[in-house]
Amino acid sequence: MTLRLIATDLDGTLLDPSAAVTPRTRAALDAARAAGVVVVPVTARQPIGLRVIAADAGFEGWTLCGNGAYATHLTEGRMLFAEELPPATLRTLADALSASVPGLLFASVREGGETFVAQHGYAAVAQLSDHKRDPATMGGVPLDQVLAAPTLKLVIRHPELAPAELFATLRSLGLTGFEATLSGAPFVEVMAQGVTKATGLARLCTHLGIDRAEVVAFGDALNDVEMLRWAGHGVAMAHADAVVQEAADEVAPSNADDGVARVIERLLG
């Protein structure tokens, strides 16, 4: 295949288990860029979470955040597109899920991913690694305020229940008007209807004039499945769940073994 764009998830994929960019991975990314290949991080993270590793990875251009909900340019600060959940949908979802699962906590990602609005009590169960934000800075507002404005991503968590259990309950309700997924983080993530990493990547590739057949994508979690299926060549990590590996064309070594770098090195020849 002709390789023109590398789309890579970060946590559990490009980053090692300590959430760092290894020297081998950085060298592989640099070699790809030197060969004219566009490298795009495609992540559930927001820009604040990208900035902490951007220099180490050499990320300076377009990135897809919020599971494909929006594309932003890291150095120019401009947005290509943004898909938001309307407040009415947020309220319907929150009311229905809360009726089934008492004790839920919600947070809203807004305004290009720069604003994080958390419900009272959310910060108490959050860690810095969850959103790359210090919980002490999250504050807390009534649920009505969390749900009052258009949202790029709604975060749902429970102090005790596992994200997979919440996700299964949400799916069982039969609600429509949004997309829900899991990224490996300790919460369920909800985006606007139809939004996945694949839809965001497709829009960015159209903007760049790159065909899907020229794209290699890497991922390890449920939120990567659509992207791996869409790309010309999808690569799942060795530690990924079966559903992720089945969506891919290839299974690479794990992120603890520089799996992404090994595949890039081979593709560059």
Residue 156 has a pLDDT of 98
Res 264 pLDDT > 90: yes
Res 67 pLDDT > 90: yes
Q: What is the pLDDT of residues 17-60, one digit of tens each?
A: 999 999 999 999 999 999 999 999 999 999 999 999 999 999 99
Q: Please give the Cα distance from 108 to 214 (Å, whole number).
A: 34
Under the banding of pLDDT at 50, 70 and 90, the label for residue 77 is: confident
CB 198 within 8 A of CB 230: yes
Q: Greatest CA span in the chain, whole angstroms?
A: 55
Cβ-in-10-Å burial (0-12, 13-18, 19+) of 99 comes to exposed
Structure tokens at 219: 């991922």
For residue 251, what are the contacts with CB-CB under 8 A and spacing of at least 6? 235, 236, 237, 238, 240, 245
Residue 1 has a pLDDT of 83
Please give the mean pLDDT across all residues of the chain. 97
Model pTM above 0.75 = yes
- Residue 138 to residues 32, 121, 188, 248: CA-CA distances in angstroms? 38, 10, 18, 37
Q: Please give the Cα distance from 234 to 127 (Å, whole number).
A: 31
Structure tokens at 62: 């377009």
Residue with tokens 């290509």, as numbered in its chain: 80
Residue type, 63: T
